Amino acid sequence: MRRAIFALAIVTLILASPALAGDAEIKAGQATIDGQLKAFMADDGAAAYGFAAPNVKRIFPTVDTFMNMVTNGYAPVRKPRTYSFGKVQEMSPTSIIQQVLIVGPDGKDYEAVYTLEQQPDGTYRITGCSLRASNALST
């Protein structure tokens, strides 16, 4: 009886928890973010823009408008000193949210939360990014 209750509790916990993305999806999403961050650091706006999803490209239809937005509103993402991947969550079979912990050019800690959507060709592209100062301590 105890085993049945324990098993039921585990199944309930799993079903109540948000689904986690599979390893392949996580790696694909992280590779997309990593590629964009490396392109930003290399001052390669065209490459960085290539990681943006169509919804972002509709709002920022040129590399220049996209890079101006990133430079003026997302300095820690534009020129991170360091970054590492944090928590990840699957929102749907084709959509993930990835936390990125960043030390910005000012030496302060930031948390960037990326949303990514799988495209028809199977690649993941960035649909959005929110940025906030973090209370985490850098090492």
Query: What CATH number should be reported for the domain holding residue 76?
Result: 3.10.450.50
Q: How big is the chain by its Cα radius of gyration, in Å?
A: 18
Residues in the chain where the model's pLDDT stays below 50: 2-19, 139
| Domain-embedded: residue 45 | yes
Q: How far apart are CA 99 and CA 82, in angstroms?
A: 14
| Domain-embedded: residue 52 | yes
| Domain-embedded: residue 4 | no
Backbone phi, then psi, for 119, in 5-degree steps?
-90, 165
Residue entry with tokens 């650091």: 41
E-strand ranges in 10-123 read: 82-92, 95-103, 109-118
pTM of the model: 0.81
| Domain-embedded: residue 108 | yes
For residue 122, give its domain range: 19-133
| Domain-embedded: residue 12 | no
Q: Report the Cα 56 to chain-centroid distance in Å.
A: 14
| Domain-embedded: residue 1 | no
Q: How far apart are CA 35 and CA 58, in angstroms?
A: 21
| Domain-embedded: residue 7 | no
Q: Count the domains in the chain.
A: 1
Rounded to 5, what percent of the chain is helix, strand, coil?
45, 30, 25
Compute how many other C-beta atoms are within 10 angstroms of the C-beta atom of residue 70.
Answer: 21
| Domain-embedded: residue 46 | yes
